[in-house]
Amino acid sequence: MDILSKQIVVLPGDGIGPEVCAEAVRVLRAVAERFGHEFQFDYQLMGACAIDATGSPLPELTLDACHQADAVLLGAIGDPKYDNDPTAPVRPEQGLLRLRKELGLYANIRPVTAYDQLLEHSPLKAERIQGTDILIFRELTGGVYFGEKGRFDEGNSAYDNCTYSRAEIERIAHRAFRAAETRRHKLTLVDKANVLETSRLWRETVRQLAPQYPSVALDYLFVDNAAMQIILNPRQFDVILTENMFGDIISDEASVIAGSLGLLPSASVGDGAALFEPIHGSYPQAKGKGIANPIATILSAAMLLDHFGLQEEADTVRNAVQHALNQQVVTPELNPATRYTTEQVGSFIAYAVLDIADCEMHRNNIRLGMSTII
Ligand SMILES: NC(=O)c1ccc[n+]([C@@H]2O[C@H](COP(=O)([O-])OP(=O)(O)OC[C@H]3O[C@@H](n4cnc5c(N)ncnc54)[C@H](O)[C@@H]3O)[C@@H](O)[C@H]2O)c1
Ligand SMILES: CC(C)[C@H](C(=O)O)[C@@H](O)C(=O)O
Ligand SMILES: [Mg+2]
């Protein structure tokens, strides 16, 4: 077995970010212990906590550390004091967007899975969603998020420009086509080509690449229709490719299929660096309550292990998550009848990574109120 030594920058961020990150790090430590790897965790500031401490949502120290790391694990950023103040001169989200841009993370990959164990708690009909397995490729460093923006008319009108270049579309489209080749050979481009010029460029560019991937069936869907189809008939999708803002919206929507926003992980990759984060935000209402689901961040850590080429380790984490779902060791939004906390779910999964028997003993201890958290 190859022993790996890796430097991982951890950006816990704001709200529930530190809580869910702590559980993902716990699981990564269990992986290191079981497989003999050395993971070093370097904690840095980003988001509202960084503004409070330094005045900047992305301090240079943090950015430098991320550039040098083998991978970055992020919790979430965002704070109501900025959300409720549209005139705030600096915002936590600016730090995240700048980090994505500076690290060249143009492809954000968001898997969506319907878990058999959670079907009965889903608001959607089980027979419609069972077996859903979608991979969303969201473009992450272009589009309306990064276009010129501003006010005019004495502040009474505003604009956000949306720009895409052919090169920006091609580089993520190649990744999406390659992923479809290894899966069910279907790629759906989600756009608004009936209205937007940028969307027409997306269609034209992706259509021109299609002959390079003859085994992949390419189709197109307008985003409004896609938003409906994802809920109505999600099994029709294999790989979805889309631009920045559409990808943001349809992936939160698709989390209803899994059962919670707290279940969807993501990997952001591009020019070399790689960042792993749950797709959810800082869920400020839950901060400190122990109710945040850590599984999205733990599954993001599994994607980080994939990125390191540690397939067995990544599968071990995913199996441990499945074991937690089998045993209904989940946070209350998934099953109000269970009372497991963020920390208990995380430590159960960490124990399961080490040894299933250990995690069963741990669960009994939680039940008896004598939980020992590793
Ligand atoms: N990548 C990021 O860091 C990121 C992503 C989205 C939003 N944000 C920021 O987060 C803040 C809050 O935004 P929001 O309320 O729109 O979105 P949010 O994702 O924080 O929460 C939306 C809802 O999803 C559910 N949810 C989210 N995470 C969960 C978890 N781990 N477990 C269980 N349920 C969970 C809750 O019902 C919550 O009310 C804002 O400041 C926003 O800008 C950050
Ligand atoms: C916080 C915000 C800037 C971010 C985005 O829109 O990309 C978030 O919603 C996400 O999905 O990571
Ligand atoms: Mg989002």
Ligand number nearest CA of 79 is 1
Better-scored residue on pLDDT, 372 or 281: 281
Ligand 1 centre distance from Cα of residue 237 (Å): 25
Q: ipTM > 0.90?
A: yes
Give ion ligand 3 contacts, CB < 5 A. Answer: 248
Distance, CA of 320 to CA of 323 (rounded, Å): 5
- Is 318 annotated as belonging to a binding site? no
C-beta of residue 221 within 8 angstroms of C-beta of residue 189: yes
Distance, CA of 372 to CA of 151 (rounded, Å): 55
- Atom 3 in ligand 2: which residue has the minimum CA distance? 93
- Is 14 annotated as belonging to a binding site? no
* Ligand 1 in reach of 78 Cβ (< 6 A): yes
pLDDT at site 364: 74
Ligand 3 centre distance from Cα of residue 2 (Å): 36
pLDDT band at 36 (very low <50, low <70, confident <90, very high): very high
For the segment 182-194, the average pLDDT, to the nearest whole number, is 98
- Atom 22 in ligand 1: which residue has the minimum CA distance? 283
- 61 pLDDT exceeds 90? yes
Identified catalytic residue from 106, 115, 145, 351: 145
Ligand number nearest CA of 260 is 1
Ligand 2 centre distance from Cα of residue 37 (Å): 32
The binding-site residues of ligand 2, defined as CB within 6 angstroms of any ligand atom, are 78, 93, 96-97, 248, 279, 281
- 46 pLDDT exceeds 80? yes
- 365 pLDDT exceeds 80? no
Please state the φ and ψ torsions of residue 165, each to the nearest 5 degrees: -105, 160
Distance, CA of 91 to CA of 85 (rounded, Å): 10
Mutating to test ligand 1, I would choose from 110, 253, 283 the residue with most ligand atoms within 8 A of its C-beta, which is: 283
Tell me the CATH architecture of domain 123-258: 3-Layer(aba) Sandwich (3.40)
pLDDT at site 232: 95
- How does the average pLDDT of the chain come out, rounded? 96
Distance, CA of 164 to CA of 203 (rounded, Å): 12
pLDDT at site 2: 77
pLDDT at site 86: 87
- Is 178 annotated as belonging to a binding site? no
Mutating to test ligand 1, I would choose from 261, 291, 295 the residue with most ligand atoms within 8 A of its C-beta, which is: 261
- Is 79 annotated as belonging to a binding site? no
Distance, CA of 50 to CA of 91 (rounded, Å): 10
User: What are the structural domain ranges in the chain?
Assistant: 1-106+260-374, 123-258
pLDDT band at 355 (very low <50, low <70, confident <90, very high): confident
* CB-based contacts of 56, cutoff 8 Å, min separation 6: 50, 90, 95
Distance, CA of 320 to CA of 349 (rounded, Å): 5
**Do 1-106+260-374 and 123-258 share a fold?**
yes
Report CA dihedral (300, 305, 309, 314) to the nearest 10 degrees.
Answer: -90
Give the pTM. 0.97
* Ligand 1 in reach of 83 Cβ (< 6 A): yes
Ligand number nearest CA of 94 is 2
C-beta of residue 241 within 8 angstroms of C-beta of residue 172: yes
Known catalytic residue at 70: no
pLDDT at site 357: 67
Query: Each residue of 324-347: pLDDT tens digit?
Result: 999 999 999 999 888 899 999 999
- Is 100 annotated as belonging to a binding site? yes
For the segment 65-89, the average pLDDT, to the nearest whole number, is 96
- 224 pLDDT exceeds 90? yes
pLDDT at site 273: 96
- Is 138 annotated as belonging to a binding site? yes
pLDDT at site 360: 74
Query: Each residue of 249-303: pLDDT tens digit?
Result: 999 999 999 999 999 999 999 989 999 999 999 999 999 999 999 999 999 999 9
Report which residue type is found at 210: A
- 362 pLDDT exceeds 70? yes
Better-scored residue on pLDDT, 314 or 122: 314
Known catalytic residue at 358: no
Known catalytic residue at 248: yes
Assigned CATH for 1-106+260-374 = 3.40.718.10
Ligand number nearest CA of 138 is 2
- Atom 10 in ligand 2: which residue has the minimum CA distance? 279
Known catalytic residue at 145: yes
For the segment 212-237, the average pLDDT, to the nearest whole number, is 98
E strands in 230-282 = 239-242, 267-269, 274-276
Cβ atoms < 10 Å from Cβ of 357: 10
Residue 135's DSSP bridge partners are 111, 239
pLDDT band at 368 (very low <50, low <70, confident <90, very high): low
Query: Each residue of 103-143: pLDDT tens digit?
Result: 999 999 999 999 999 998 888 999 999 999 999 999 999 99
Known catalytic residue at 355: no
Ligand 1 centre distance from Cα of residue 333 (Å): 13
